[in-house]
Amino acid sequence: MPGTVYNRSSVFATKQRLEGAGLFTFTSLTPQFDQVTRHDSIRYLPVRIEAQTQQRHRLRLETFGLQRGPEINFGSNEFGIGLGGEYENVNALGGGERFRFRTSASVATGPGASVFSSTQFEASTSLTFPYLIRPFGLFEDVFDLTSARTQISLSALTARRNDFNIRIRSRNSGRLRLEMNHSSTLTSRVDVLDLSVSNPDTLSGFQGQFLDSLFVGIEDPVQRAQILEDYTQPQINTVFRYTLQSATANPVRRRDGRLYKISGEVGNTLPLLFDRFVFSPGTLEYTVPGLTGRGGGGLGGDLLYRPYVRATVDLRRYVRLGAGETLALKFFGGIAHPTGRPTLVPFDRRFFSGGGNSVRGWRLRDLGPGGAGQVSTPRSGQGGVTGILGGDIKLEASAELRTRLLRSVLAADWIGAGFLDMGNVWFGPRNEGFGNGTDAENRAATLRPDDRNGRFEGGSSLSEVGVGSGVGLRIEWEYLIVRFDLAYRLHDPSPRSDDIFSGDSPPLLHFGIGHAF
């Protein structure tokens, strides 16, 4: 500020704040020592500020390719194409506020589909302030931040399975997020409110086309009730979340450095308060009225909510072993716990394991819970239903050795990789999980001590960790990495395979953009 004592670190901090606004392609703050003036024995040092602004309006069109995992563990991987557009105003309100509107549509097809098996449409808009809006501005002084942002965003997504004639996703969401940079490597993110409303079954045909066939392989009424609730009930979810991240690794290449992240959240406190004190004073129904009140179906009827708490820790370390060689290490742990009468956390806040960015010996969401066996369905002809419920506890660890094979071939470096993954998910203490009865006591009486029920039992559950390994290839351009991984199962905790290298599971090929971790 003018009139304050000159300090080089303050000048650098000001430069960081200017660049953090996202308005400038170039900034320079230069002390003018040859123009020092003196007044009443005080010397004044002018600082020259130069900046080059970005183009205010931007319009971008793009095409993209995609790989989409099987929906709710049903079917095969899909491949597709999409078209997107984005408009951006980098100084929308005259104070460095960035407005962005984006929309995209995609179609995908898989084995057996006549034309397109699924379609998806998404639209989102956001307004980002290069400062903390009221009443959060005091945090800038309390924490001595190097930069800060406030983001308000809205989004809507809908997806349809053409081959089933059903809508599989329909979600509207809004979020108020504070992002605070304590230093160049330490960042806090506070989601003051993250609200979503979902209505997964808005088209006819879901019961007959999917659920009836699925339930042929599931006799347990508890699992049936959980699946019906997850995939047919309109739901509302509100979250308060805090995330602390320390990062020194390049976000794309990740050849050395670290990325440590811890996060904690409390879910559905607002619906709980409205339910308790406004909509049904003195009682808790664990539903709130939809857009047009209670009764009826869809978003016009009751919206289900589930109170919960959730915490995760994600630790990643990248050790440079030599020119072109990196050892990448990852550990992830998470727990979600229901805090109200419902015994489940919301579907999108549970944990899943398996896939190209998880334990790569398994398909997406195909591992676990625990050592529980997977159920066969007439449509799929193979296991794959157990993972539909997800888990409340997750542990994963991975190690990957990356070695440069070729340099500057097709303007890219070619990297070979060998990896080892291990992990699983489990049901928590309140999750009713699997069983043959309709309540926990009846199921406890029917389970033998050696039954694999998917529940986390402390140290003894570590024997249910799935282990996979394999080799891969990464093609690294300056801003893009294309990844291919061929993965094998070394230890499958499910009853389908108790032997190492049993040969029951063929190797899996994963394709992705960017490193697995």
Same domain for 61 and 47: no
Same domain for 110 and 16: no
CA atoms within 13 A on the CB side of 391: 29
Same domain for 194 and 64: yes
Q: Please list the alpha-helical segments (H only) found in 370-457.
A: 440-446
Name the strand (E) or helix (H) holding 65.
strand 57-68
409: CATH: 2.40.160.50
- Tell me whether residue 102 is in a domain: yes
- Tell me whether residue 128 is in a domain: yes
- Tell me whether residue 265 is in a domain: no
User: Whose structure tokens read 């379609």?
Assistant: 119
User: Which pair of structure tokens corresponds to residue 103?
Assistant: 């929309």
User: Which pair of structure tokens corresponds to residue 1?
Assistant: 């500020």
Beta-bridge mates of residue 89? 57, 99
Same domain for 130 and 101: yes
Amino acid found at 488: Y
d(CA 320, CA 318): 7
- Tell me whether residue 241 is in a domain: yes
Tell me if residue 89 falls in helix, strand or coil. strand
Same domain for 17 and 134: no
- Tell me whether residue 22 is in a domain: yes
Query: If phi over 0 gives left and psi between -120 and 50 gives alpha, with beta otherwise, what is residue 431?
Result: beta
Same domain for 470 and 352: yes
Residue where a domain terminates, one of 32, 54, 76: 54
The answer for residues whose C-beta is within 8 angstroms of residue 273's C-beta and 6 or more apart is none
C-beta separation of 271 from 342 below 8 A: no
Query: Would the CA dihedral through 357, 363, 366, 368 be positive or negative?
Result: negative
Same domain for 241 and 135: yes
pLDDT at 445: 42
pLDDT at 431: 84
d(CA 74, CA 72): 5
Same domain for 139 and 79: yes
Same domain for 158 and 214: yes
Same domain for 18 and 39: yes
pLDDT at 299: 55
Residue 113 sits in which domain range? 56-247
Residue where a domain terminates, one of 227, 247, 267: 247
pLDDT at 92: 92
pLDDT at 124: 97
Beta-bridge mates of residue 466? 423
- Tell me whether residue 274 is in a domain: no
- Tell me whether residue 456 is in a domain: yes
- Tell me whether residue 275 is in a domain: no
pLDDT at 17: 81
pLDDT along the chain (517 residues), means of 10: 85 84 88 90 91 92 77 62 95 92 91 75 95 90 86 92 69 95 92 90 61 68 76 89 96 93 96 91 86 55 91 97 93 95 89 92 87 50 58 96 93 95 92 57 43 76 92 92 94 68 73 89
Q: What's this model's pTM, rounded to 2 decimal places?
A: 0.83
User: Which pair of structure tokens corresponds to residue 360?
Assistant: 């790569």
| CB environment 229-243: b (16+ within 10 A), e (fewer) | ebbebbbbbbbbbeb
User: Whose structure tokens read 């009846």?
Assistant: 442
User: Which pair of structure tokens corresponds to residue 6?
Assistant: 């000159």
Same domain for 222 and 183: yes
Beta-bridge mates of residue 419? 400, 470
Same domain for 371 and 230: no
Count of domains observed in the chain:
3
C-beta separation of 513 from 480 below 8 A: yes
